[in-house]
Structure 1
Amino acid sequence: MAPLLIATLTLAGCGGRFSDSGWNPLGWFGSGQGPTTLEPRDGYANANTDARPGIPAITGARWEVLNEGRLLVVTGIGPTKGYYNADLIGQSPSPTGRLSPDPDGVLRLRFVAWPPLSDSEFARLPARPETDTISVALTLSSNVLAGITQVEITGATNTVTIRK
């Protein structure tokens, strides 16, 4: 019982006016001062900036059921062949790698990709809808889906809305 009482009193000394003391084990391996916020260094406004332009035309969006959520599959097409590095990115400020809906329950995404270089062979070839579609998929867990009523995907010229 005595060792338990001693350990409890020792840990109780870690807070309060003794928190800056050399006896505080939380300060033994550094200053103990971690970040005070989870906000990115440049702020949320700069965290979600992406230089890639929107896909010229979104042609469709669909859900595929997974064990613990759903897979959002979005397809689009550009005027020429050669679009690459396509992705769905959130429009709302949020920590990197996390998606969250707006207060109204709408998850707003941008469908982006790099166009082919203007001097490349691909930039001169028109895209064919049968073979040159651009597809991206985004996994949404059941926890994320709980707060979402619909998903709105925006490209360069159109917007597609899909309900949960």
Structure 2
Amino acid sequence: MLRAIVVVSAILSLTACDSRINPLNWFGGDREERITLNPDAVGANAIIDGRSLVAEVTQLSVEQTTSGAIVRAQGIMPSQGHYDAELVLVEVTDTVIAYEFRTAPPLGQSTAGLQQIDVAAELTVGELAGIRTITVISQNNRRSVGRR
């Protein structure tokens, strides 16, 4: 009985603190970096995709699930009518996963006004193994979240 009380109190104290070993603190808040992409620079590993990058990523979060995590991103476009939004995987290293946030342009003439677009991608526990940073790239900025 005493052993169970000690284990339960240890678990509760871990969830209450902002510790790196706390399993509920997988990824911290997102940080933004302003960038300028050169559309003429196409590297050897470039992905050919007819969709364009969203203008700006406004939010990024990683939510833990029983099978891994869900990466959620929110972006804006300067006009209405964009569709087929997706986080396109562009880089995977031992510690980093990077996505580009892409959408298809409007069919026909677009309507003026900002369009908010939400998108998500699922990662399994195996895909998350060793990952320290997840980055989402847009046309004008990139947002990253890192493990605490």
TM-score tier by shorter-chain length is 0.5 to 0.7
TM-score (structure 2 length as normaliser): 0.64
- Structure with bigger helix share is 1
Name the counterpart of 1:126: 113
User: Displacement of 1:45 after TM fit?
Assistant: 4.0
Report which of the two structures shows the higher radius of gyration computed on alpha carbons: 1
Aligned equivalents of 1:124, 1:83: Cα separation in 2: 10
1:145 partner amino acid: L
Give the whole-Å Cα distance in 1 for the aligned partners of 2:70 and 2:57.
Answer: 17
CA-to-aligned-CA distance 1:57-81 (integer Å, 9 cap, x gap): 1101111221110100000010111
User: 1:83 Cα shift?
Assistant: 1.1
Count residues in correspondence: 104
CA displacement, residues 75-95 of structure 1 (integer Å, 9 cap, x when unaligned)? 001011111000011113xxx
1:7-66 CA-partner distances (Å, limit 9, x unpaired): xxxxxxxxxxxxxxxxxxxxxxxxxxxxxxxxxxxxx947x4212110011101111221
State percent identity of aligned pairs. 25
TM-superposed CA distance for 1:147, in Å, is 2.5
Give the TM-score of the pair, scaled to structure 1: 0.58
Q: Which residue of 2 aligns with 1:150?
A: 133
Gaps in structure 1 of 5+ consecutive residues: 1-43, 93-100
After TM superposition, give the deviation of residue 115 of structure 1 in Å. 2.1
Which residue is 1:106 aligned to?
Answer: 96
Q: After TM superposition, give the deviation of residue 137 of structure 1 in Å.
A: 0.5
- Partner Cα distance (1:154, 1:75) in 2: 11
Partner secondary structure for residue 144 of structure 1: helix
Cα RMSD (Å) of the superposition?
1.8
The answer to whether residue 72 in structure 2 is matched with residue 82 in structure 1 is no
Q: Which of 116, 134, 137 is the aligned partner of 2:120?
A: 137
After the TM superposition, list the runs of 4 or more consecutive aligned residues in structure 1 that deviate by more than 3 angstroms. none
Higher relative contact order (CA 8 A, sep 6+): 2
- Unaligned 5+ runs, structure 2: 1-43
